Structure 1
């Protein structure tokens, strides 16, 4: 009888040990929300490959001026965009002269002279621009950030002009020596002759005279697990503890760093307020540090472009914009997706946020779509806020979650002078 009791007790102890082992292995902190379905589970801890900073530095658009007030636009990844940009990367620019932006009649240059205008959105530090272009800046120019480069010909002038616009808005730098001939510039401009025509509006944005064709995309999507994020961001993921929040989000912390997950938005925010400062901080150094951080803590789940290096009160904000094909994916309050944001203090990352969603691009279903142009688009723009001038008009993709699919809906992204934005489909 005693032996039988001992056998039952031993069996119960073994069973209890197995159950406890199961929970220790499969129910680590955060696993309560881990997605385990066949469509959403991801085996690797990486969200994507590492990336070189040079591959993240490129213009958001290329404006071709053909004289007689004729213009067209090329976007990233298109044939002529890549051809012209690669040629310009191999040309040298030096002996920069600092001048006032008011020294030039830009409306006349835009309408009468042939040229190529590269737009870098919110700007790119010159020391980073040197990684993709052959620049020989002096100490003054080297400390600037550039949001536009305008290379153009002037009638009856035997040399090409190259002007770099400071993000400050009142200063430009003209390269007295540019390894480009008038014929080089004209050859690049000629690529736009038979392309879709655009009309310049107040020198701020360009309105297509015809409809713009692009694709509507639907592809399978899933979500990276919280365990993967813990493994990427914490030295010892097993030491974290879970703190529930009233708004439905979840926080995991090791008492120093914290990971907050909004499961409705599939969005994560990581903060390390105790990060030790690395020392000197410049826009270029912080951008490089941000790229390294993403490389080491998840990687890049798609094609990105350095979008901004903004100075805050005590930190610098670095943002990367995700692209599908030639156009950006917009992050909106209803659907946060398509951007990676970081904050740095004295060269060290203290804040990091991005979407937890991934897509299977090789299984994408594409359908041809058109965005309005010409008079129809002009009328729709006129009905927008009359008190805020439009500063930019760009084709873009609006992300929409549809069950376990991500839909990229083509839209016009309209940006106003105060930085606010609306979309037109």
Structure 2
């Protein structure tokens, strides 16, 4: 037998051995059903972006001894808690299967806050129909409740409490596995060094009428200003995204330096400040959808495609337009290190008419650096209310008890500034139903009334 034949035989034997051991390995692998993802894991993947921008603005943690800690979306503890509550409590509520919504007295809600519990506070309340569609649930009949606040408590293992801010009504829902709160979760939160202690403002402070559940820092704060730069706009590239045929697009230069691009049906304006605005002459025809979720999703998908959303974005406003019930307005702002960045106009606004984008406005800046020297906020929340009270009398010329204060919180103020680079300063925001008062948190002067 020559050398080549020997090599061939050895090679064949090695291949047979390899096939034998490979097949043996596959046959002996134990099958585990955990390797296959459950369908429920993907129940709302398609809407995960929407769920992020409508997540709670804050989570108040009520502990023994009337101690209150507050979490915001920039903190890891918040993200962990919200993921658990979303997949359990909110999902059960939104699906509404075999669920009774029992009307309860306000006293039950207030008494529960004295126990160990979590209170989730939503910036923009949505009705259960909206949440139902966010979870791709097929449940059609749900009570007309707007989810504004939610309480889960240790001493109510199968119960959650809801607050509807539109009707100022409180509800109790009892169902197996609806409350995921555990002692270990609370212990982990309590041991966190990141969370600051807060106090609840009295509903009658300085003669003003406040809603319940307004939490402000217990101790004086120090905070840094933020240096920002305007969003870098590249007009020629940007315009191509909005017009399919650039050969029919006209460019118009206005006296104030604004540039307008139009094809007769669509218009795209770039302001000297860097703000952009897109308008589309959508013609309303026939029946129209009155589903706010469908419109919100259309707007969200458009924003993600054209320009994107900044980190920390949240939906500040979602409403049907009074003058045009076929259209819905969605307004976005964003948080920097958990603190809202707001101005007299939202950073992003989009109007949806019958499933199409009718108007799109965007005026964004990007935080680039914290100012190294921190400022002590010499104006306390109570002092802020004093300033707000005097301005309410002057500006509204009426008794302030007719204008219930909905919230008091710290924010960064976005000035109406055309500069390429500028600074965001800390302000206290006193929020009423239709008005926001911005008060400089260092100087104590009223900056603006929105």
TM-score greater than 0.5 by the shorter chain: yes
1:214 Cα deviation after fit: 3.7
Aligned residue for 1:419?
435
The yes-or-no answer on 1:316 pairing with 2:328 is: yes
- Unaligned residue ranges in structure 1 (runs of 5+): 1-50
The yes-or-no answer on 1:385 pairing with 2:392 is: yes
Aligned residue for 1:113?
115
Aligned residue for 1:52?
49
Structure 1 contact 153–182 (Cα < 8 Å) conserved: no
1:231 Cα deviation after fit: 1.6
Deviation by residue 1:148-201 (Cα, 9 ceiling, x = unmatched): 2222355xxx53531233353244553211526696168437725884232233
**Aligned to 2:339, which of 323, 327, 331?**
327
Structure 1 contact 301–358 (Cα < 8 Å) conserved: no
The yes-or-no answer on 1:295 pairing with 2:304 is: yes
- Unaligned residue ranges in structure 2 (runs of 5+): 1-47, 204-211, 394-399, 442-450
The yes-or-no answer on 1:242 pairing with 2:244 is: no
1:115 Cα deviation after fit: 1.8
Structure 1 contact 330–399 (Cα < 8 Å) conserved: yes
**Aligned to 1:233, which of 235, 242, 265?**
242
The yes-or-no answer on 1:280 pairing with 2:289 is: yes
Between Structure 1 and Structure 2, whose CA radius of gyration is higher?
2
TM-score when normalising by structure 2: 0.69
**1:13-412 alignment runs, 5 A limit:** 52-66=49-63, 68-92=65-89, 93=92, 95-100=98-103, 103-105=105-107, 108-109=110-111, 111-126=113-128, 129=131, 138-141=139-142, 144-153=145-154, 159-179=157-177, 184=182, 187-188=185-186, 191-192=189-190, 195-202=196-203, 203-245=212-254, 249-263=258-272, 265-274=273-282, 280-313=289-322, 314=324, 315-332=327-344, 339-355=347-363, 357-359=364-366, 361=368, 366-371=372-377, 372-373=379-380, 376-377=383-384, 379-380=386-387, 383-385=390-392, 387=400, 388-400=403-415, 401=417, 403-412=419-428
CA distance in 2, matches of 1:392, 1:91: 28
Bigger strand fraction: 1
SS at match of 2:282: coil
Change (3 A) 1:234 1:301: farther
SS at match of 2:435: coil
1:411 Cα deviation after fit: 1.7
CA distance in 2, matches of 1:261, 1:221: 13
Aligned residue for 1:19?
none
1:125 Cα deviation after fit: 4.7
Aligned residue for 1:12?
none
1:58 Cα deviation after fit: 1.3
Deviation by residue 1:19-51 (Cα, 9 ceiling, x = unmatched): xxxxxxxxxxxxxxxxxxxxxxxxxxxxxxxx9
Structure 2 contact 265–281 (Cα < 8 Å) conserved: yes
SS at match of 1:91: helix
Q: Once structures 1 and 2 are overlaid, which stretch shifts more, 309-318 or 216-225?
A: 216-225
1:310 Cα deviation after fit: 0.6
Q: Once structures 1 and 2 are overlaid, which stretch shifts more, 232-241 or 167-176?
A: 167-176
SS at match of 2:434: coil
Structure 2 contact 158–175 (Cα < 8 Å) conserved: no
Q: RCO higher in 1 or 2 (8 Å CA, sep ≥ 6)?
A: 1
Aligned residue for 1:48?
none
Change (3 A) 1:65 1:301: closer
Deviation by residue 1:219-270 (Cα, 9 ceiling, x = unmatched): 444530332331222222342213455666443210001112331x432221
CA distance in 2, matches of 1:179, 1:65: 21
SS at match of 2:100: strand
TM-score when normalising by structure 1: 0.73
Change (3 A) 1:173 1:274: same
SS at match of 1:55: helix
Change (3 A) 1:307 1:376: closer
What CA RMSD, in Å, does the superposition of the two structures yield over aligned residues? 3.5
SS at match of 2:392: coil
Aligned residue for 1:8?
none
Change (3 A) 1:404 1:163: same
Structure 1 contact 316–343 (Cα < 8 Å) conserved: yes
